[in-house]
Amino acid sequence: MKLIILGPPGSGKGTVAERLEKEFHLKHISAGELLREEVRKDTLIGRDIKPVMEKGGLVSNQLVSAVVKLEVQNKKQYILDGFPRALEQAKGIGELKINKVLYLDVPLNVVVERLAGRRVCKKGLHNYHINYLPPKKAGKCDWDGTPLLRRKDDAPAAIRERFRVYQHETRPVIEYYRKKGLLLTVDATPDPETVYGKVKKTLRLK
């Protein structure tokens, strides 16, 4: 299966994708993570995109599309998390033959609270929430023991910008896939366990 997960910042795309990867061996490809990796490695691309990412803006369509296309090459089963996020990106991946698009629908007031409490391990690989998805040991990643940090783009001004961008750029992508008949919507307001159960049912995974 080739699956896209869409939803506002903080809707739980990364958490759902991580669990699907573990249980069903679908490769989790996070556009944001691929871009953050460039920033962490301080590559030329990384230096270029760091300011726009920290402010919560979108990286250029051309660049992000190239990075993602490189990553999906020769893979038959994967989940695209956070890509496409703009109509131009969606129109440019027709050749990937995506099977399903999962839309995690959640009201904005709920996601603002989630983002404020979100923490990510120093390696940037595992997500937590101080109330809803706490680590076993406070402040430490369950998987690699690295300290848990707040992402720069989870600061209040960056969160506001990410929502503005989401409304303008990403909403049309949801409508694009709805019209194509690929969109499956799940209410992502409840706790992570409940949402994950609903996702599996909706995707007909057992």
Beta carbon nearer to ligand AMP, 161 or 196 = 161
Beta carbon nearer to ligand AMP, 113 or 137 = 113
| From 59, 90, 106, 199, residue interacting with ligand AMP (rule: CB under 6 A) | 59
Beta carbon nearer to ligand AMP, 124 or 190 = 124
| From 56, 121, 166, 183, residue interacting with ligand AMP (rule: CB under 6 A) | 56
| From 9, 28, 114, 115, residue interacting with ligand AMP (rule: CB under 6 A) | 9
Binding of ligand AMP at residue 106 (CB under 6 A)? no
Q: Give the residue from 65, 77, 64, 69 showing the smallest Cα distance to 20.
A: 77
Please state, in angstroms and rounded to a whole number, the distance separating the CA atoms of residues 199 and 195. Answer: 6
The strand order across the sheet containing 118-121 reads 127-129, 118-121, 148-149
Kindly report the backbone phi and psi dihedral angles of residue 184, in degrees, each rounded to the nearest multiple of 5, phi listed first: -120, 125
Beta carbon nearer to ligand AMP, 57 or 134 = 57
Q: Does residue 1 contact residue 7 with C-beta atoms inside 8 Å?
A: no
From 76-84, 128-136, 171-179, 181-189, give the range in contact with ligand AMP by CB under 6 A. 76-84
Please state, in angstroms and rounded to a whole number, the distance separating the CA atoms of residues 47 and 184. Answer: 36
How many of the chain's residues bind ligand AMP (CB under 6 A)? 17
Binding of ligand AMP at residue 64 (CB under 6 A)? yes
Residue nearest to ligand AMP (CB): 32
Cβ-in-10-Å burial (0-12, 13-18, 19+) of 32 comes to: buried
Binding of ligand AMP at residue 12 (CB under 6 A)? no
The tokens for 153 are 């783009």
Please state, in angstroms and rounded to a whole number, the distance separating the CA atoms of residues 138 and 27. Answer: 29
Residues of the shown chain interacting with ligand AMP in the complex, contacts defined by CB under 6 A? 9, 31-32, 35, 53, 56-59, 64, 82-85, 89, 153, 162
